[in-house]
Structure 1
Amino acid sequence: MAVSPLITRLGLALVTLFGVAVIVFCLLRVVPGDPVAMMISPSATPADIAALKARYGLDLGLGAQFMLWLGAVARGDFGTSISLRRDVLELIGERLPATLELAFAALVFGILAGGMLAIFGTLCRRTPLEPVLDFLNGLFLAVPDFVWALALVLLFGVFLPVLPISGRLDPSVPVAFATPFYLLESLARLNLAAVGDLLAHMAMPVLALGLPLAAIIVRTLKEALIEAMLQDYVLLARLKGMSPLRLVVQEALRNAVGPTLTLTGVQFTFMIGGTVIVERIFAYPGLGNMAIDAVINRDLPLIQGIVLTFGALFIAINIATDLIAALLNPRQAHG
C-alpha cells in the first residue's frame, strides 16, 4: 500500500469515526429514559436535578451537547461515568487490555486451528473423510459464539468441572501487576503460575470466540488451496516428486492465504463485537462486559466512549489487514 492511499485511508477513518460519534450520540438521546434519574435519590429537589444535568451538560440543546462532547473528546476527555463516577478514559484503559488479550488469543486459536484443518481437508480431497469434515465445519459455522459459550459452561463448568467459569484471575494467585495486560506481563516475567491461571480462565471464552472463526477460515482457505493446487507451478512440483503435504504447505499455501487473510480481518472485527456477550456469560472483566452495564444504567458518557473505542479498533484492524495483505502481495501496494 503506497503512502498516498494510506493517508487517504486514515482520512476516511477519521470521517468514519465522526459518523460513528454522530450516530451513537443521536441514538442515545432519542432512547426513552432519563440518565439522571438512575443516579439521584428520590428525595432530590428540582434544584439538585438541575445542578446534576448542568454538570453533565444535559440541560443544553442537542447541538450544543454534541459540540461540547466532541470538543472534549478531541482534547482526550471522554467525560465522567454517570454510574461509576470515574473518568471514562481511565475505565476504558483498565478494561480494554483484558478484551484485547481475549480477542487476540481467540484470533491465534482460530488461525492455527482453521489453518491446520484447512490443510488437512485439502489433503483429504476426494476421500470418504471429506464429506464428514465438510459437515462438521458447516455445523461449526452455524453455531454462534454465545451458544458455544453456554455449551462450554455446561460441559466444562458443570458436567466436567475442570475449568473456571468466571473471572480473569483467581484471587489466590499471589501476583501484583504493573500493567492491565496481565497475560503479556506474566509471560514477560515468566510467572508460570499466573500464566496457567490466566489461560485457564481464558480457555472457554477463547474457544467460544475462536471456533466460529476457525470454521470460516477452514472453508475459505480450503477453497483457495484447492484452486491453487490446480495451478501449473503446483503440477510441475508434483511431477518433480514433491509429497502432497509439501505441495500444499510449501507451494499452494503462500498463494492461497491472501483472500483468507482479508476475510479473517473482517471476521476479527465481528469477533471483537462478539466479546460483549461472551464476556458477560463468563463474567470476564473486559470492555464488553462493562458496555452491557453501561447500557443497563444508561450511562451516556461511558457508552459513547466504549462505542468510539470499538469503532477505532474496527478501523485500525481493517487498515492493518490491508497493510499485511499488501506486504504479502506487492501487486496490491498501489491499489
Structure 2
Amino acid sequence: MIWRMLGIRLALSVVTLAGVAVIVFVLLRAVPGNPIAMMIAPGATAADIAALEARYGFDRSLVDQFLIWAGDMLTGDFGTSISLRQDVVTLVAGRLPATLELAFLALIVAVVIGTAIAVLSTRLRENWTGDAIDTANGLSLAIPEFIWALAFVFLLGVIWPVLPVSGRIDPVLDPGFVTDFLLIESLLRFRFDVTADVLSHMAMPTFALALPLAAVIARVLKSALLEAMAQEYVILARLKGFGEFAVIWREALRNAVLPTLALTGVQFTFLLGGTVIVERIFAYPGLGNMAIDAVINRDLPLIQGLVLTFGVMFILINLTVDVLAVAINPRLRDAG
C-alpha cells in the first residue's frame, strides 16, 4: 500500500512538473518586453532582428514555440541562453552543485540548532531561562534570511572582517577537482585547505539561511515534545529513574520527530527559494544568483530551465520526506 502511495505521488509529481512548464512558458511570454531587444546591437536592421527572432523561434506562434520547446526538453535540450550564449543544461549543471551544497549545509545547521533549542527549552520549560529561549526564538522567527545576511555582512565582513563576503572559493586556490561539488570532493580527497576555504565562504550565507528554519523547527519540535512528555511511556521512563534530559532525548524526541519532519521538508523548499536573495547578497555563484541575472536580461530559455530545476528539487524533497516518514513510522511500514 505504501509503495502504491509513493507511486501515485510520483505520477502526480510528473503532472505537476508538466503544469509548471506550461505556466512558466506562458507567463514569461505574457510579460511585456522583447528579449531580442537585449541582444541587438545599436544600429541593427529589421532583417537582423528578424534573423534573431527566427533563430530563437520567436517568429512562431505561442503553441508552436511551446511544442518545439517541450519536444526538445524531453530529449534533454533546454535551449541556448540568450544572454550568455551557452547551453542551458551546461549552465545549470555548473551552478547546481554550489546551491545544493549551500542548501543542504544550511539544512544540517538548522536541524542541529533547532533540535538543540527545542530540547533545551523543553528541559527548562518551568524556568525563566526556558521563557527567555522561547522569546529569542520568536524574534529569530520574525527575521527573514536576507536581513540575517545583511547583518552578517555588516558585522563579520565590515565591522569585524573575519569572513569573506563574496564568492565560493579563493581565486588563488586551484583545486583541480573533477566535479563542482567543492566541499564534498575536498573532503573525499583530504584537501582540508580547500575545505576550510570553502566553508569560510559558505559560513555567512549558510547561517543566514539556517537561522529562520532553525526557529521554525525549534517551535514545532518543542510543541511535539511537550505533547510527548505527557504520554504514559514518558511517565514510565521517569519511574525507571531516567533523568529529565534522558527522558526527552531517548523517549520523547523520537516520537516528536515525525510531525517535525513533515514541516521541515516543506520549509526546506522555502529555504531553497531563499537562496536566490542570499546568493545575490554574497555574490555566491549558485542557481539563485544566476536566476536574478536571467530575469534582468529577460533570458527566457535560462529562466525556464532554472524554474524547472527548482521544481524538480521541490518534488524530490517532498518525495524524500514521504519515504522518511514511512521509514520512521512503524505503523506505516507495517501497512506496506
Tell me which residue corresponds to 1:138: 138
2:73 partner amino acid: V
Cα deviation for residue 329 of structure 1 reads 0.3
- Tell me the amino acid that sits aligned with residue 23 of structure 1: I
Q: CA deviation at 1:332?
A: 3.0
Q: Which residue of 2 aligns with 1:154?
A: 154
In structure 1, give the amino acid aligned to 2:194. A
The answer as to whether partners of 2:2 and 2:332 remain within 8 angstroms in 1 is: no
Which residue in 2 is equivalent to 1:328?
328
8 Å CA contact 2:111–2:214 kept in 1: the answer is yes
Q: Counterparts of 1:177 and 1:63 in 2: how far apart (Å)?
A: 43
Question: Which amino acid in structure 2 is aligned with residue 156 of structure 1?
Answer: L
CA contact (8 A) 1:35 1:298 kept: yes
Which residue of structure 1 aligns with residue 237 of structure 2?
A: 237
Is the 1:173–1:193 Cα contact (8 Å) retained in structure 2?
no
1:192 alignment partner in structure 2: 192
Say whether the 8 Å CA contact 2:125–2:131 is kept in structure 1.
Answer: no
For structure 2, the residue ranges without an aligned partner over 5 or more in a row are: none
2:312 match: 312
Tell me by how many angstroms 1:174 deviates: 3.6
CA distance in 2, matches of 1:330, 1:316: 23
TM-score normalised by the chain length of structure 1? 0.98
TM-score by length of 2: 0.98
Q: Which one-letter code corresponds to 2:321 in the other structure?
A: T
Structure 2 counterparts to residues 181-260 of structure 1, below 5 A: 181-260=181-260
Cα deviation digits, residues 115-162 of structure 1 (max 9, x gap)? 111111110011111211111000000000001000110010011100
Offset, 1:164? 0.2
Q: Quick one: which amino acid aligns to residue 221 of structure 1?
A: L
Q: Which amino acid aligns with 2:134?
A: D
By how many angstroms is 1:178 displaced? 1.0
RMSD after superposition: 1.0
Q: 3-state DSSP class of the match of 1:112?
A: helix
Secondary structure in 1 aligned to 2:44? coil
Match of 1:107 in 2: 107
Letter in 2 for 1:72: D
What do the CA deviations read for 1:223-253 (whole angstroms, capped 9, x no partner)?
Answer: 1111101100100110111011110010111
User: Offset of 1:290 from its aligned partner?
Assistant: 0.2
- Asked if residue 29 in structure 1 is aligned to residue 34 in structure 2, the reply is no
Please identify runs of 4+ aligned residues in structure 1 that moved more than 6 A: none
Partner of 1:291: 291
Partner of 2:14: 14
Amino acid at match of 2:316: A
Q: 1:46-76: CA deviations, max 9, x gaps? A: 1111111111111011111111111111110
Distance in 2, matches of 1:330 and 1:253, equals 15
| Counterpart secondary structure, 1:305 | helix
What is the percent sequence identity of the aligned residues? 61
Match for 1:272: what amino acid?
Answer: L
C-alpha separation in 1, matches of 2:332 and 2:312: 24
Give me the whole-angstrom Cα distance separating, in 1, the residues matched to 2:10 and 2:122: 38
CA distance in 1, matches of 2:108, 2:281: 21
Deviations 1:301-321 (A, max 9, x none): 000000000001001100100
Deviates more, 1:1-10 or 1:233-242: 1-10
User: What is the correspondence of 1:119-130 to structure 2 with a 5 Å cutoff?
Assistant: 119-130=119-130
Q: Relative to structure 2, which stretch is displaced further, 65-74 or 170-179?
A: 170-179
The one-letter code sitting in structure 2 at the alignment partner of 1:266 is: V
Mark the runs of 5 or more structure 1 residues left unpaired by the alignment: none
Q: In structure 1, the residue corresponding to 2:57 is in which secondary structure?
A: coil
How far, CA to CA, are the matches of 2:192 and 2:89 in structure 1?
A: 31
For 1:41 and 1:297, locate their aligned partners in 2 and report how far apart those are by CA, in whole Å: 14
Aligned to 2:90: 90
Letter in 2 for 1:189: R
Between the two proteins, the alignment pairs up a number of residues equal to 335
